[in-house]
Amino acid sequence: MLSGPQIILTLKVLVVVVSVLFAAAVVSIALGRKKLHGRINTAFFILTMTTVVGFEVLLRFFVDVSATFSEEARQALRVHLCFAIPSALLLPVMMLLALKHWVKLHVACGILFTLVWIGTFITGVFFLPHDG
């Protein structure tokens, strides 16, 4: 069974990996590479949603959260979820808007997503304790 620190460290690594993809998608659209932007965003969407669902299943069905995580870690996870949940809800909306070619709405959601993702990144990487 995974320990709380192992779970949090895994979460941190995944947040960093998908954040690199997100940054690459932003750079690609800034350079006018729409097709590359779409492909990177698709990979970002799949990896991020897989991570969200995977951690949700893990924490709901396989881990006793109160026994696995310290109170400090549980509080940090609650704060992290205040950013991660809105991010996860915005992702399918942004994908749909992109697929429908509703560019203005996609960009507006993208700006909102970026702000929320910054919170997700900061709380996920810097605030979650991964030491024993």
pLDDT tens-digit map of 62-116: 888 888 888 999 999 999 999 999 999 999 999 999 999 999 999 999 999 999 9
132 token code pair: 């024993």
Are the C-beta atoms of residues 25 and 113 closer than 8 Å to each other? no
Alpha carbons 50 and 47: distance in angstroms, whole number: 5
Written as one letter, the residue type at 131 is: D
Percentage of the chain surpassing pLDDT 90? 80
Which pTM does this prediction carry? Answer: 0.89
Q: Which of 12-16, 34-38, 54-58 has the lowest mean pLDDT?
A: 54-58
Are the C-beta atoms of residues 18 and 124 closer than 8 Å to each other? no
The pLDDT of 2-6, averaged and rounded, is 85
Predicted pLDDT at 132 = 56
Domain layout of the chain by residue ranges: 4-127
Q: What is the DSSP letter of 63?
A: -
In this structure, how many other beta carbons lie within 10 angstroms of the beta carbon of residue 128? 22
